[in-house]
Amino acid sequence: MEKVKKVAAFPTSVPITGDSGTGKEVLANYIH
């Protein structure tokens, strides 16, 4: 989560990959 907090501070695109059901949408909402 520390890396996510750092990325969320900048206006940039972030690819989020992973298996189904791993929380990608939750992570994307946090960054957004």
pLDDT tens for 1-32 read 788 888 888 888 889 999 999 999 998 898 88
What pLDDT shows up at residue 21? 94
What are the CA-CA distances from residue 6 to residues 18, 21, 29 (Å)? 20, 24, 15
Q: Domain of 26?
A: 2-31
As to burial, measured by CB atoms within 10 angstroms (0-12 exposed, 13-18 middle, 19+ buried), residue 31 is: middle
pLDDT at position 1 is 78
Structurally, the chain folds into a number of domains equal to: 1
pLDDT reported for residue 4: 82
pLDDT for 19? 96
Residue type for position 22: T
pTM, rounded to two decimals:
0.60
